[in-house]
Chain A
Amino acid sequence: MDPLFLALSNFRRRNFEKCVEICTELLNKNPLDQSVWSLKTRALTEQVWVDECDGEEEGLADVLMDDNTIASVARPGTSLRSAPPSSAGGPSQTFRPSTQSGRPLSGVVRPGSQGGRPGTMDQALRTPRTAQTARPVSATSGRHVRLGTASMVSTGDGPFINLARLNVAKYANQQNIAKALFEYIYFHENDVRHALDLAAQATQALNFKDWWWKVQLGRCYYRLGLFRDAEKQFKSALKQQDNINTFLSLGRVYIRLDQPMASLDVYKDGLDKFPGEVTLLTAISRIYEGLNDLPKAVKFYKDVLQCDATHVEAIACIGTNHFYSDQPEVALRFYRRLLQMGIYNCEIFNNLGLCCFYAQQYDMTLTCFERALSLATDQGIADVWYNLGHIALGIGDINLAYQCFRLALVSDNDHGESYNNLGVLEYRRGNLETARAFFMTSASLSPHMYQPHYNHAKLAHKVGDLQTSFIIVQKALNLFPAHVDSQELLKTLETHFQTL
């Protein structure tokens, strides 16, 4: 069989390693064969290709030295960074846990949404102490570099193309291989400057008439943090050709500029051109979710499900929303659907277990949690134990609950929720000092939660330390202004001080 045909066939069947192997052999025989060379670049690219529209990790420098945000004090409901409005109509903070950035917990975690946005330098620097959520120092380092090294490791004998010696101008004029070469440089080598150089020369060579190159230029600018330049390129590309990917990229530019309303407009424009496009609808829902407008987010997720009934993210997010709006039996149906679709991991069984318990289907609960524990990785196991602690509390087995929360802490020493719940248990046992220590630890580990502050204030109030109680209950109210118990505690304290 012709080896080139075999390589092509392997490429189509996504056996990229085999394809690269054959291409390498062919190139050893004839280094000037452009078709083989181009095929090899494409195969290498496909190995490390990731969907960039799904979000990206922001590095420490990007987050802290971010001067792209247009309004430093944005109006409520128009920013993804400032505190979300609490009265947006969804379930309140009492029921729905929030992420570190104060956003409601989502049904799906994406590359950008892992760590959340720390509010201060102090928080940001403290986060990497937990080895699991270490934040790269800059977007140009971090995962991109790690993947770059990954690709170098896989090739073994040095890089395939020596970028420093590449004659960019020559390849920019050869349109048949320039595009594959660009993607190789951008994805495989992660060398954005060279990629930008190639894209700029190629688009010039075509007299600025090819929208594809404009999109690629925009992506390079985006990766380099030049968001306004990226915006120009994407808009110019959209004038020539409507493309879903371009709409998504332009929307992401506005998200980085912290203009969620502008990106909503872009996505809606996109929907006018491509009605019922799932990726655009999902992007809209993500923004509403980030703005804490959960009813709208769910509405768009439901639209997604109208168009694509097997959309995992939509099902998971709707399920999460039902669970936290006091409908665990409905949530159970959504998660069961995910299980039927073939998702089989720790998270799904944990969620099924919780839904079963709160929907009063007690027979399945422990089985689900057993399964979740057996499938859990190091990252997830703390949460499973934590949730099991809640089941134990639900059936009144305080000792088991205590042990579960302890086990959660064994797996993840920075699990703030477990510390708080342990504090509550210690309080009930009458060990007030231990409880106080737990609340303080919890508050310092999870600065986004109001519960430890409130509990600490309550405890201080009980032992007569009114000043401390007064200070701390205000912290709780800062985090969750609508919390009735904290408001009442504050009122009691205020009346008390006034009578003195």
Chain B
Amino acid sequence: MREGSGTASASALKEVLPRKGILYQEDFAYLALCRPKLMPLKSVTLEKLEAMQKNAQDKLRQQQQQQQEQQGLGGVGSSAARPNIF
């Protein structure tokens, strides 16, 4: 207890020492939090699979970009050939 208010509250509160019966304590049921989660490491195989997949995706993307660039170049050429309607 804090020193300042000690005298007043000490007289107000009586200590209880039951002579008979069961000493009990009230138990509150709180809401349940989900527990902290350790993250599982990735196995070597999984890492390899993911790396391969990522490589493949990158390569595909590169190829698509190249194709688009080529088409884009073609597109510029064709638009130049097209008559300007504005």
**A interface with B by C-beta (< 8 Å):** 48, 50-51, 54-55, 94-97, 105-111, 114, 143, 146-147, 149-150, 153-154, 312-313, 316, 319-320, 323-324, 331, 338, 343, 345-348, 350-351, 354, 358, 380, 383-384, 386-387, 390, 393, 416-417, 420-421, 423-424, 427, 449-451, 454-455, 458-459, 485, 488-489
Contact = CB atoms under 8 A, between A and B. Distances in A.
A147 B53 contact: yes
Contacts of B40: 105-109, 316, 320, 347
A485 B29 contact: yes
Interface string B15-50: 000000000000001011111111111111110110
Contacts of A354: 36, 38
A417 B37 contact: yes
Given A109-B40, A154-B56, A50 B29 contact: no
A105 B37 contact: yes
Nearest to B54: A150
Contacts, number: 133
Given A154-B59, A451-B33, A458-B31, A346 B46 contact: no
Interface of B: 29, 31-46, 48-49, 52-53, 55-56, 59-60, 63
A265 to B, nearest CB: 24
B29 A343 contact: no
B35 A143 contact: no
Given A143-B53, A150-B53, A488-B29, A111 B46 contact: yes
Contact of A455 (B31, B37, B46): B31
Determine which residue in A97, A319, A323, A384 has the highest number of CB atoms from chain B within 10 A of its CB, and name it. A97
Nearest to B47: A345
A383 B43 contact: no
A323 B35 CA distance: 11
Contacts of A417: 34, 37
Q: Is the interface of A mostly helix, strand, loop or mixed?
A: helix
B39 A421 contact: no
Nearest to B29: A485
A428 B63 CA distance: 54
Nearest to A114: B46
A350 B32 CA distance: 23
A421 B33 contact: yes
A387 B49 contact: no
A109 B41 contact: yes
B38 A105 contact: yes
Contacts of A358: 36
Contacts of A345: 41
A150 B52 contact: yes
Nearest to B58: A153
A108 B33 contact: no
